[in-house]
Structure 1
Amino acid sequence: MRVAIVQEHIDAGRGGAETSTLELARELARLGPEVTLVCAGRHPAPPGIGVGGVRSQVIGVHGPTKLRRTRHFAERAAGFYRAQAFDIVHAITPCAGCHVYQPRGGTYAETVRRSVALARGPLWRLVRSVGRRLNLRQRFLLRLERELLASPRPPFVAAVSDYVRRQVERDFPEFPCERLRVVFNGVSIAPGSADERARWRIGLRTAFGLDERTPLVLFVAHNFRLKGLAELIRAIAAGAAAVSPPPVLLVVGRDRTAPYARLAKRCGVGERVQFFGPVDDIRRLYAAADVLAHPTWYDPCSRVVLEALCCGLPVVTTRFNGAAEVIEPDRHGVVIESPADIPSLVDAIGRCLRADVRTACAADAERMRQRLSMARHARALLDLYEEAQRGVPACGSPMSP
């Protein structure tokens, strides 16, 4: 089986969804299909340069604006995979004629809604809503997704969580339910041996000046605002008196730190919020931490949450995260309603720091690694590819290749 995975940008440094695409491609290749990643580049690059036995085809795109470059990619990518006659076209960026559409970032309509909800107060929400309407690239992708899913011969949709499935049902009520499947997200992570984790924990906590008694709260993201860092800093400040010794927050990721350092100082916790920047091996930080706090405003199915659970680290997150669906309360962590609910966030962190919760989460890590593996995710998608090849009818018509 020859499979093309189409995503405009594929760069592990950009964030979780793109890392997941690379891991998925490698796992699919291990199962037998010949996998080609189709992605964009400002300048054409030699084809066949891939990772893990996966080929890549870089589509040269040109244009003065993001809209022009995205439009150019959609047109040229479609021309490439049609000319190559792939058995399966798996689109992550929406594109015409695909067999499987996997909106790893959720539907574009939900992305806009959550972005607007992030604004503080009705006036700023109105301003943000108008700004989104003026975003021509996003409007183009909204239209492309709408045309794809509203067509009389739509692709299968592989939602990475039930949260995304509900988005599709809400935004496309006429979409045939038999073509909408939840293929829950997966990750590839080896947490290290018990001895390695112990060494990592001791070494990193010593480097940070922390003894074993001091709780370490970990935050990992590349978009600090969207993932709730400001709310988390306020929660660290609000809950300082409830925990002795008070927790330290370690912020990991690539984003502007100065505004959040100032906020921490204003809240009186400047000495207890440390910024670490991006890391190559996140496993060491999972070993050093006592809880992962991910109070996100929007996440279709967060990689970092799944990774933490696979490493036995309890998690605090919100209902706006598809990964929350696998969290059993007080076994794997706590799910709160909103990042803005600071008292609930404080309470959730405190619950996750309890010894019984940490022990239960660590004991279940092996089962979670099996349940949340990228290998399992890839096998489920391969089953869906085979179903798509059989041409299961939708709306009374065979599926168009």
Structure 2
Amino acid sequence: MKVALIQETIEAARGGAETSTRQMASHLAALGLEVTVVCAAGARQGALNAPFKEDEVSYQPLPAPGVSRTLRSQRFLRAAAGFCRTSQFDIVHAITPCAVADVYQPRGGTLPETVRRSTAMVRRPLLRRLRHLGKLMNMRQRWLCAVERRLLAPGSEVHVAALSEYVRRQVLTDFSVAPQRVHLIFNGVEVAALEEPERAAHRAAVRTQLGIPEHAALVLFVAHNFRLKGLRELIQAGALDREDGPRWLLAVVGRDAPGQYLRLASRLGIADRVRFLGSQTDLRPWYAAADVLAHPTWYDPCSRVVLEALSLGLPVVTTRWNGAAEVLEPGKHGAVIETPADTAGLAAAIAEALDPAVRCACRADAPRVRVLVSMERHARQLLALYEEIVAARGAGSAARHAATS
């Protein structure tokens, strides 16, 4: 079976969605599929510019020049549609919405929900309204929303692969697509078990690097978009530590600019308890060294970092606006709070997750979670959907042939 995966940007350094696409493609190829990732060629560092093959997956960058991002996206999707039509793929699986898709997998969630949640984090009503208007007037955003609306219009034959129940609800709420065409195929990650000798070695090395003792409570935050993922609220929660509770240190991993967050920590008197570590290529040492992962996000369709942490036995505190919260069992894996704005609730949830009993239960359950959220399982469920689509297409062709003969 020939499968095309359409995603405009493929740069692993950009974050979770790009990494997930490459891992997903590799696992689909391991199941015997002939997989081609169709992406935009680009001049930026890390962008793909020439066809190549990796892990039995073909990568096909398509030229999409333009003076604006909107124009480049439009040209890419036209080129991708043409390439897929002429290449005779059995399945076209679009991550960036594309008119020729058989399967649409909005790894970033639906565009309407993306707009709603990006404005929800603005506290002041007037500024929130202005941000919402700005999003609506963004030419690229408006154009992609129109493409997504056409793709999911009433009567559409496209199938949707939702990364979480949260995303499935978004699709059914925002569009008139038939419910039977919206399939929950929960997100997956590729994580090897963290055995105790490796865990202990990483924990000792990282804590030595940070200059903190073994017994100190260390909270880990991992994101490239600090604002959207709730770093401001997390620092504010850190300043609310109760005198009778654990006073934790915060390790921040990600490439976003730290300036305003350093100033906030300084104003709140906790600058000595917050460490900015920049982007890290290997997160395993940090998962091993931490006691809790805090991910108080304003929006995440299904966070990879949360799934990775739980797979390695690290308790998590996140929000209900994260699809990954659906696999988190409070009391065993950490806690889910209503909103990042509840900084007191966030501080209390972190204190609960630091309980040794929670940490022990989460670590004991890691092998089960690792299977539950594996990328291998994700790829097998996608293959089952592909086979269902191809079989239905064949049955439809046979019925039409019989009717005309």
The question of a shared fold, defined as TM-score above 0.5 by the shorter chain, is answered with yes
Contact 1:240/1:247 (8 A) holds in 2: no
How far off its partner does 1:50 sit? Answer: 3.0
Matched, 1:67 2:63: no
Instruction: Give CA-to-partner distance per residue, 1:110-144, whole Å, 9 cap, x none.
Output: 00000111112110011101111121001010000
Q: How many residues align?
A: 392
Matched, 1:46 2:50: yes
CA distance in 2: counterparts of 1:59 and 1:266, whole angstroms: 48
How far off its partner does 1:154 sit? Answer: 2.5
CA distance in 2: counterparts of 1:291 and 1:317, whole angstroms: 11
Where in structure 2 are the equivalents of 1:257-336 lying within 5 Å?
257-336=258-337
Residue 362 of structure 1 aligns with an amino acid whose one-letter code is R
Matched, 1:229 2:231: yes
User: Kindly tell me: are residues 240 and 204 of structure 1, through their superposed partners in 2, closer, same or farther at Cα, counting changes over 3 Å?
Assistant: farther
Match of 2:364 in 1: 363
Match of 1:215 in 2: 217
Contact 1:158/1:181 (8 A) holds in 2: yes
How far off its partner does 1:297 sit? Answer: 0.1
How far off its partner does 1:46 sit? Answer: 2.9
CA distance in 1: counterparts of 2:32 and 2:244, whole angstroms: 54
How far off its partner does 1:97 sit? Answer: 1.8
Residue 36 of structure 2 aligns with an amino acid whose one-letter code is T
* Stretch deviating more after TM superposition (216-225 or 110-119): 110-119
Match of 1:204 in 2: 206
User: Kindly tell me: are residues 186 and 352 of structure 1, through their superposed partners in 2, closer, same or farther at Cα, counting changes over 3 Å?
Assistant: same
| TM-score with structure 2 setting the length | 0.95
Contact 1:191/1:283 (8 A) holds in 2: no
Residue 226 of structure 1 aligns with an amino acid whose one-letter code is L
Contact 1:250/1:274 (8 A) holds in 2: yes
Contact 2:154/2:178 (8 A) holds in 1: no
User: Kindly tell me: are residues 324 and 392 of structure 1, through their superposed partners in 2, closer, same or farther at Cα, counting changes over 3 Å?
Assistant: farther
How far off its partner does 1:191 sit? Answer: 3.6
Residue 161 of structure 2 aligns with an amino acid whose one-letter code is A
Contact 2:8/2:39 (8 A) holds in 1: yes
Counterpart secondary structure, 1:204:
helix
CA distance in 1: counterparts of 2:163 and 2:382, whole angstroms: 11
How far off its partner does 1:258 sit? Answer: 0.7
CA distance in 2: counterparts of 1:252 and 1:229, whole angstroms: 11
Contact 2:38/2:60 (8 A) holds in 1: yes
| TM-score with structure 1 setting the length | 0.95
CA RMSD of aligned residues (A): 1.5
Matched, 1:157 2:124: no
Match of 1:31 in 2: 31
Match of 1:83 in 2: 86
How far off its partner does 1:192 sit? Answer: 3.1
Residue 210 of structure 2 aligns with an amino acid whose one-letter code is F
CA distance in 2: counterparts of 1:32 and 1:303, whole angstroms: 25
CA distance in 2: counterparts of 1:139 and 1:151, whole angstroms: 20
CA distance in 2: counterparts of 1:249 and 1:261, whole angstroms: 12
Residue 135 of structure 2 aligns with an amino acid whose one-letter code is R
CA distance in 1: counterparts of 2:225 and 2:107, whole angstroms: 16
Percent identical among aligned pairs is: 55
CA distance in 1: counterparts of 2:349 and 2:55, whole angstroms: 40
Instruction: Give CA-to-partner distance per residue, 1:48-76, whole Å, 9 cap, x none.
Output: x1321110100111110010000001100
Where in structure 2 are the equivalents of 1:92-111 lying within 5 Å?
92-111=95-114
Match of 2:139 in 1: 136
Residue 165 of structure 1 aligns with an amino acid whose one-letter code is R
Match of 2:403 in 1: none
How far off its partner does 1:153 sit? Answer: 3.2
Matched, 1:385 2:389: no
Instruction: Give CA-to-partner distance per residue, 1:176-215, whole Å, 9 cap, x none.
Output: 1111110000000114321111100011111111112210
Q: Which has the higher contact order (CA 8 A, sep 6+)?
A: 1
How far off its partner does 1:240 sit? Answer: 5.1
User: Kindly tell me: are residues 288 and 31 of structure 1, through their superposed partners in 2, closer, same or farther at Cα, counting changes over 3 Å?
Assistant: same
CA distance in 1: counterparts of 2:381 and 2:244, whole angstroms: 45
How far off its partner does 1:10 sit? Answer: 1.0
Counterpart secondary structure, 1:218:
strand
